[in-house]
Structure formats: C-alpha cells, structure tokens
Homo-oligomer: A and B are copies of this chain.
C-alpha cells in the first residue's frame, strides 16, 4: 500500500486560517504601552493635522501681491513663533515667522530667511514667492474624519506617533492571547537540572516562548508532560481551561508513547496531518473542548519552522490581526538543491551586495535537530516541492529580523 499523499503546505495554511476565529476581549491602554498590540477599532481623525496653516520654514510671512519686484523691502510688523499666534497681517508688511508657527490671516506665502536680507525693521525679499509657498495647509497631513488606522493593525512605533498626533492618549487594543506551552516526553528535563542517562533538556518551550512573546502574546509555561495517559489528559484539560490556545511539542508521531494524541481525541477533536514540509512532516491541529490545539513535532528546527509557516498566522488572526502573512523577500540561491516531495525550508545567511539580489548561503547541515543552525541563520529559504534550484536562481526568503 503506498503511503497516503502528503498535504501541501499551502492547503494546510488555508485550512488553518479558515478555522481561526478571533478572540475579542478588548482593553483601553495608554499609547505608550501599545507597541506591538493589535488595534481593536478603526481610528479616525477627530481633528485636522495640522490644525492650522503653518510655516514650513523660518522666514517671513507676507502677501505676494504686496511685492512688485525682486528686491522689494517691506516693514516687519510682528514676530510669530510656534505656539504663539500673531494678529492679522497688516497690508504691505511682513511677519517674521518660525517653523511651525501659524500663518497670520492675510498672508499667502512664506519667504525663507535665506532668500531675504533684514535691516532696520524691514526685510528685503530677494526671491519672489509663489502663492502658498512654504505654507503647510491645515489638514494637509490628515483631514478630520479620515480613517488613519484600521482595526487589526499590529502597531508599530510610527503608528503610536500617528495616533498621538491626533490627540489620542488611550486606544482600544485586543487583550494579548494566552498560549499554553507544554513539552512532552519522559526523556525531557528542564534547564538547570542535571541530566540522567538518556535525558535531554527542554529547548522547545523556550523557542516557542520567544516566538510567542515576539508577537506580544502571553505564555503559560506548563512544563513537561511525562509519558503517562492520565497525567497527559489532566494537564491538557487544565491547559485548555486556562489558555486561548494550547501548543505541545513532540508526542504526536506514530510512536507507541503517543498519549497526547489519545488525550486530545478524548477531550475534543484532532486532525493528524502528514504535511509536505521539511522539516515538520507530522503535524496535528484540533480542539480541546473549544480551545484550539497544535501538536508540533519534537525536533527543534521542526518546531521553529512549523510555527513560522503554520501556527504564527493562525495565532495572529486569533489575536485579531489583519496582516497575518509572513514577510517574504527574494534572494539568490547560493547552493543547488532538489526538494523532492516536501516543501523545504533551508537555513541560510545572506551575503549582501549593493544593487544585487543578496546571495543566500546555506548552513552546512540542514538536519532538523540542529537548533544552532537557526541562531546562525539570517532567515529561511523556501524551496517548493518537486523543484530543482540551481545556484544563482531567485528563491523566496523569510527574513527573521526587520529594522524596527
């Protein structure tokens, strides 16, 4: 009997996203605590930004019609600094004005101070202005009523600035998801403990911890489940009661010690997938009661890759985010590879050359246990299944870090 066909990655992604609801609990927070949070309501400008016509430069505000020719000199009738509105401009005069200061009524242009000479309370205009020159009009950046950010936006630093510029001190954001993380296996012990023969230290829960925190989510560390059916059932039930999502690593392969599978099937529903992905073939998704459950394979690199490719977008959607796709770039393969029946994710470093596609050099050993290769790498190259990549060809790339 031939093995059942593997599920393509794109199909699994689509099926997962289709099942992702949205946890809707809100809170109102001061702006300075909102970095990385998901906006819970569309934000509209209640005011014009800027709220008044103002000068874009240091110079002189005047009326273009008052200047007959280059070299015309007019008296300076007032000084207007930012935050200190002046009076209406007297006809035939100029107002000394500084960047950001309100344009006085009656003025229709600003001449930069570099284009003037000042003497004895007069200013000589050395370059004739155009009407509207160096004036930032009220509402030019944002008009009152305009939507500035949409519900579901994952807030960047500049978004906080934008919302502040509208006068908002507090905004509604979704409460962070709480995600329970469990590691399975009699052989696994926590860092800080000595290893007995045949044991290894839990690393997967720490990788997941960091990945979840990177999305602003809370992590409920529930430790290590030994290979015991009763204990497994009990811990999974508790996890599901306390968290918005449960993730276990290991323990859903075809091995004999697969108590997680049995427990989830008893407490809810479970789909076991054989994915066309390398690393990470055995992958499971289901629900414990109503709480979504992910069973990711135990190999450290498979945890990372399946999280990135499958779990991340699901959780972002559950958290209320609009943009849930991975950022992708194009790079040049610095290697030759043939992917076979599974889509492969290779750990690479980029060699950057100005004006050219960066060259992606692979880690020497792409084994799925090699966590060190993920620390070495700048990102992952994607090789679709059944594709032979030749050196120098463009390939998709997932960058780990951005500038913010």
Name A's B-contacting residues (CB within 8 A): 31-32, 35, 47, 49-52, 56, 58, 81-85, 98-102, 113, 136, 140-142, 148-149, 153, 155-170, 185-188, 190-195, 197-211, 213-214, 219, 221, 227, 253-257, 298, 300, 303-304, 308, 312, 326-330, 352, 354-358, 367, 369-372, 374-375, 379, 394-396, 398-404
Contact = CB atoms under 8 A, between A and B. Distances in A.
Contacts of A357: 330, 357, 394
Given A254-B58, A404-B211, A227 B83 contact: yes
Contact of A209 (B51, B157, B203, B398): B157
A58 B207 CA distance: 25
Given A31-B191, A195-B51, A403-B399, A210 B157 contact: yes
A161 B300 contact: yes
Contacts of A194: 167
B157 A169 contact: no
A403 B308 contact: yes
Contact of A161 (B56, B206, B255): B206
Contact of A379 (B153, B166, B205, B403): B403
A300 B375 CA distance: 35
Nearest to A312: B403
The interface residues of chain A, by DSSP majority, are classed as: loop
A185 B400 contact: no
Contacts of A142: 372
Contacts of A257: 81-82, 98
Given A165-B201, A329-B329, A157 B211 contact: yes
Given A157-B210, A401-B404, 15 more contacts: A35-B213, A81-B257, A82-B198, A98-B256, A113-B254, A140-B369, A155-B210, A156-B401, A157-B304, A161-B204, A162-B374, A164-B207, A167-B195, A169-B191, A169-B192
Given A159-B375, A256-B81, A50 B206 contact: no
A136 B365 CA distance: 13
Contacts of A159: 210, 375
A273 to B, nearest CB: 18
Contact of A165 (B210, B255, B371): B371
A193 to B, nearest CB: 7
A101 to B, nearest CB: 7
A269 to B, nearest CB: 25
A278 B293 CA distance: 49
